[in-house]
Structure 1
Amino acid sequence: MGKESAAGTRRRGGRGARERILVAAAALFYEEGIHATGIARLVETAEVSTRTFYQHFPTKAALVEEYLRGYEAGLARRVEERLTQEGLAPQDQLLTLFVMVAEAGSERPGGASTRGCPLHNAAVEAADQMPEVRELVQRNKEGVVQQLTDIAARGGAADPERLGRQLAVLLEGATAMSTSLDNPCPRQDALDAARILIDQALPDMQSRQRS
């Protein structure tokens, strides 16, 4: 049964507290920013006490890391599901990643702002204050480049490493520009540009019929 704090904020018992903190962090960090979200805001939203918070996360940085790992794992699962569709050739796999980015931009609720990639946002906010977070994001982005490079190699690209880097720049730039302009159009622009780039690097793609 819930309890009221001295300030009147409802507090729930410890069962499921860790998950509630992570859910609150995912929403608040993404919508309001990591630095702008203090411990008081987190515990109020998660309906836990400050003591309970620190029992699960010794520091705010530890919570940020856990939040990012959870986002990273969920994104990896979604990407893997799309890339392993039956009959999806390497060329189409490369484009699928851009389709996913474009779809994410078109799924905003009415009036919602474009926030961009949580990992990129965290890297910008963390700077030198959260080195573990910065390293986590760096490993993720390096992994994206490697994944694109591997797919490009399977598709027969003459220089898969170069194509992988170029496509990674397009992906990252699309979300960053979309956030800066608060407009989903750059995501579609990146998809269109990726089609041209892949056509040039993988000539056999030109004969494919694409929607």
Structure 2
Amino acid sequence: MADDTTPPARRRILDAADELFYAHGINSTGVDAVIETAGVARMTFYKHFGGKQALIMAYLEGRETRWQLRLQRAIDAAGDDPRARLLAVFDALSEWARSQSRFRGCSFVNALAELAEPDHPARAVVQAYKSALRDCVLQLAQESGAPDPALLTDQLLLVYEGAISTNALGNVEDAVDKAHFTAEQLINAAVPVPR
């Protein structure tokens, strides 16, 4: 999905790519399917993107932007409590998982699996996203007063990534809710209670 300042044709192309790439995969979705779903002319597509690679980059960047906004809203909603702010990462994850009509896991991990060439530019976008998420969780863990914020960050990210994968596979009922509970337990065990 694009923002309100995006030209209408570009917005329709991005919305179509977002829907199709996530539902069917990047490699399985051709430019023709995106053009048809968006209801634009081929020339319009190429005017805005030049090719599929630029569309893939825009798709991933749009997903990252929307996730960062969702995450920041959840952190802000948690107020000043550092434990609640850290748990807000899982609040955002729960909200995101519920918003998906068909949950296929992490679009970034899916892209990494599909775009296997080590020099594909989308891999850098995926790595930057995952690094930014780690940096955010680490900062929140540091602010929480955890004695070993790096360890807590690693533990929480393992739970986070595992929740997404098991939820997509469907082999753990309520995986995201259970991950939220597990994260809360990890935070409670690691972060001193304010006096």
Normalized against structure 2, the TM-score is what? 0.88
Change (3 A) 1:104 1:81: closer
Partner of 2:70: 78
Any unmatched runs of 5+ in structure 2?
Answer: 1-6
Q: Distance in 1 between matches of 2:173 and 2:46?
A: 38
Asked if 2 retains the 8 angstrom alpha-carbon contact of 1:114 and 1:182, the reply is: no
Task: Give the deviation of 1:182 after TM superposition.
Answer: 6.8
Task: Give the deviation of 1:86 after TM superposition.
Answer: 6.6
Task: Give the deviation of 1:170 after TM superposition.
Answer: 1.1
Aligned counterpart in structure 2 of residue 141 of structure 1, from 104, 112, 130: 130
How many residues are paired up? 189
Asked if 2 retains the 8 angstrom alpha-carbon contact of 1:149 and 1:164, the reply is: yes
Partner of 1:188: 177
Q: Distance in 1 between matches of 2:145 and 2:80?
A: 15
Change (3 A) 1:63 1:95: same
Task: Give the deviation of 1:130 after TM superposition.
Answer: 6.4
Asked if 1 retains the 8 angstrom alpha-carbon contact of 2:156 and 2:183, the reply is: yes
Amino acid at match of 2:102: S
Any idea what the Cα deviations from partners look like across 1:57-80, whole Å, max 9, x if unmatched? Answer: 122111011011111111111211
Change (3 A) 1:48 1:94: same
Identity %: 34
Any idea what the Cα deviations from partners look like across 1:16-46, whole Å, max 9, x if unmatched? Answer: 2111110110111111111111011111111
Q: Distance in 2 between matches of 1:55 and 1:104?
A: 32
Aligned counterpart in structure 2 of residue 65 of structure 1, from 57, 71, 83: 57
Task: Give the deviation of 1:50 after TM superposition.
Answer: 1.6
Aligned pairs for 1:28-177 within 5 A: 28-85=20-77, 87-108=79-100, 112-128=101-117, 131-177=120-166
CA RMSD after TM alignment: 2.0
3-state secondary structure, aligned to 1:203: coil
Partner of 1:10: none
Task: Give the deviation of 1:135 after TM superposition.
Answer: 1.0
When Rg is computed on C-alpha atoms for both structures, the one with the higher figure is 1
2:15 matched to 1:23?
yes
Structure 1 consecutive aligned stretches of length 4 or more whose deviation exceeds 6 Å: none
Asked if 2 retains the 8 angstrom alpha-carbon contact of 1:17 and 1:48, the reply is: yes
Any unmatched runs of 5+ in structure 1?
Answer: 1-14
Q: Distance in 2 between matches of 1:40 and 1:182?
A: 34
Normalized against structure 1, the TM-score is what? 0.82
Q: Distance in 2 between matches of 1:147 and 1:199?
A: 19
Any idea what the Cα deviations from partners look like across 1:74-105, whole Å, max 9, x if unmatched? Answer: 11112112212373311101112112222333
Any idea what the Cα deviations from partners look like across 1:86-127, whole Å, max 9, x if unmatched? Answer: 73311101112112222333445xxx4321122221111112
Q: Distance in 2 between matches of 1:133 and 1:184?
A: 32
Higher helix share: 2
